[in-house]
Amino acid sequence: MKNLILKKNIERRFFLLSALKGISFGVLSWRLFDLQVIENKKYDKLSRNNQFNFSLVVPERGEIYDRKGRVLAANRDAFSLYIKSSQNLNLKKILDKLLLITNLNQEDVKIFENRYKNLKKKNINVFITDNLSQRDISKIAVRLHEFPEVNFLMTKKRVYPQGTITSHLIGYTGKLTERDLKKNKNLINFSNLRIGKYGLEKFFDNQLRGEFGRRREEVNARGKIITSNLYEKPNPGKNLNLSIDLNIQSYALTRLQNLNSKKSKFNEPETGSVVVMNVNTGELVCCVSSPNFNPNIFTRGVKSKEWKLLINNKKAPLLNRAVSGLYPPGSTIKMAVALAALESGVIGYDKKFFCNGVKEYGDMKFHCWHKYGHGNINLSQAIERSCDVFFYELGLKVGIEKIGLMLRKLGLDANINLELNELRRGLVPSKKWKLDVKGTRWTPGETINASIGQGYMLSNPIELVTMVSRIANSELSIEPTLLSGKAKKFAKLDINKNHLNYIKKAMSDVVNSEMGTAYKSKLKIKNIKMAGKTGTVQVVRISEDEREKGIIKNKDREWKKRDHALFVGYAPLEKPKYAICVIVEHGGSGSTIAAPIAKDVMEKLLV
């Protein structure tokens, strides 16, 4: 009986605990249902994150060709060196060992160490360098078993087969920096990405870069890659076809640079620029700036020593003089002043002024380049012989505002949409500009200086060649471009044709008439003639004292104080095709230094 009560009691307790068990089974089932059915999506995503690592695949950068398909910028196979990060890696030991057997760039190593320190994820490949020579690579490859953390990846390396010839134009690429990322929010922070830093590489960076692809890697818990395959193909960058003709470009460059080596002891290349433009399409056939640099040093990572040399060089080899070199245009704008006068009806074709070598205005004296004057001459003769006094008179009659208007119409200090970020706009002064910037009123003396392109006036070779192109074309406001085959619609020029023809005739006389300043540089090709205008730009003011003592010859002056030599022109005369602008910094006279270069380049172009 007692046993029965005991049994009943035990059974009651047993049911209590069995109920507890039942509830527990229910709880477990619900938990499984919750995890596997209700929250499945969340955990599935987490599982995929565990399973797969996505890494970016760099697209191949677009190549750059000249107008005839010759390669100016291309990609070559290269190896990148990586170290796989892990928690307790003796980084110093590995790097020391690597440095012992290879020529690793110290700066690369430093950047790598920084990058390694700031890693957010573990077990990823950290990029060291892609600048290993074939020898270094094979050295490491042979001893790879000693470096289990080190591995290679095939990458592409930017090369510029033409090196210095197109250096300023093509520019170069460089490593992505924090500043680049801040400036451009669309950039993907990728340690090994190189972006355009200069020239066309910079301007067309987006097109050239292409779109990243993705590689999917299956990774285990220890970070070891089990499988790896391409998940999204990268979209290679677009190629660029330039309007540049490599032949002309290299010829113009050597012609410009070798100028001195023939005649004087200086072996340093001449500084300056040669720009040739198609007057009908605006395509730039050659765009040379000297001195230049080798863009390939930026590909392998420019060493700080080299960089300092480039930066501290007084002749600024990194400067693209064709687009960002600003010079007083000098006599090369006399056509524009003349056009302004003709358009405003201030003078007729036959109006003459007398030049006795100096123009006195108030208590100031403005000299002509010809000490004894040109005598009584008309507009056409004044352009042909580049008489300054004639233009002093003309300038005073027309006024700075109208001169400025015409210059802007012809492309100076105007909006030019060239495909280079380095383009610097020239300066055509006006009364308002003087008041705004200098705070004083415009004086007639400044008009006199401006009418021969001196004083405040500044311009770059691209603007000058645009000016000549528009005059030569006579119908359209041609604009320069570096891309070939880019159909462009140009606005009407809107200048009286007769006036233009008159000016063009005068420009022809500059080269083809015996009295012309560039007569010695007339083309030696049958039936093809060139028209043009020389310019010799004073860099320092010559005082009256110096004039009396006799002007020191250009050659004997300090380089920095010598005149700039300029020439602008176009050819052929009847059916203009090419316009040219040559500037030789501190080269001397436009007629003896700049014009012969233009002649040689034109002959090369037209033969």
Which residues are at the interface with another protein (CB under 8 A)?
2-3, 6-7, 9-11, 13-14, 17-18, 21, 24-25, 27-29, 31-33, 35-37, 39-40, 42-44, 46-48, 50-51, 218-222, 226
Query: Shortest approach of another protein to residue 229 CB, angstroms?
Result: 15
Supply the DSSP symbol for 541: P
Nearer to another protein, 11 or 268 (CB): 11
The CA distance from 102 to 100, in Å, is 6
CB atoms within 10 A of CB 494: 10
Nearer to another protein, 35 or 89 (CB): 35
H helix runs in 118-245, sequence order: 134-142, 167-170, 178-183, 199-203, 205-209
Place of tokens 């005649």: 263
34-60 b/e with 16+ CB inside 10 Å = b? eeeeeeeeeeeeeeeeeeebebbbbbb
Query: Shortest approach of another protein to residue 214 CB, angstroms?
Result: 19
Place of tokens 């405040």: 456
Query: Shortest approach of another protein to residue 29 CB, angstroms?
Result: 6
**For the chain, counts of helices (H) and of strands (E):** 24, 19
Looking from the CA of 42 toward its CB, the CA atoms found within 13 Å total 6
Torsion of CA 123, 125, 127, 128, to 10 degrees: 80
Query: Shortest approach of another protein to residue 230 CB, angstroms?
Result: 20
Query: Shortest approach of another protein to residue 21 CB, angstroms?
Result: 5
The CA distance from 282 to 270, in Å, is 27
Q: How far is CA 64 from CA 16, 242, 246, 288, in A?
A: 84, 7, 12, 17
Nearer to another protein, 4 or 607 (CB): 4
Query: Shortest approach of another protein to residue 225 CB, angstroms?
Result: 10
Nearer to another protein, 24 or 133 (CB): 24
Give the H or E element holding residue 510.
helix 497-512
Contact 467, 412 (CB under 8 A): yes
Contact 119, 126 (CB under 8 A): yes
Query: Shortest approach of another protein to residue 48 CB, angstroms?
Result: 8
Instruction: Name the 3-class secondary structure at 92.
Output: helix
Contact 188, 209 (CB under 8 A): no
Query: Shortest approach of another protein to residue 210 CB, angstroms?
Result: 32
Nearer to another protein, 121 or 185 (CB): 121
**Amino acid (1-letter code) at residue 175:** K
Query: Shortest approach of another protein to residue 52 CB, angstroms?
Result: 9
Nearer to another protein, 110 or 122 (CB): 122
Q: What are phi and psi of 154, to 5 degrees?
A: -75, 130
Query: Shortest approach of another protein to residue 163 CB, angstroms?
Result: 49
CB atoms within 10 A of CB 308: 11
Q: What are phi and psi of 450, to 5 degrees?
A: -65, -30
Nearer to another protein, 14 or 266 (CB): 14
Nearer to another protein, 100 or 226 (CB): 226
Nearer to another protein, 5 or 491 (CB): 5
Query: Shortest approach of another protein to residue 87 CB, angstroms?
Result: 11
Torsion of CA 367, 370, 371, 375, to 10 degrees: -90
Query: Shortest approach of another protein to residue 124 CB, angstroms?
Result: 15
Nearer to another protein, 47 or 313 (CB): 47
Query: Shortest approach of another protein to residue 116 CB, angstroms?
Result: 19
Give the residue among 59, 73, 234 at the shortest CA–CA distance from 158: 73
Nearer to another protein, 31 or 520 (CB): 31
Nearer to another protein, 219 or 240 (CB): 219
Cβ contacts of 591 within 8 Å, gap of 6 or more: 517, 518, 520, 521, 534, 536, 567
Radius of gyration of the chain measured on its C-alpha atoms: 35
Nearer to another protein, 85 or 512 (CB): 85
3-state secondary structure 411-445: CCCCCCCCCCCCCCCCECCCHHHHHHHHCCCCCHH
Contact 570, 576 (CB under 8 A): yes
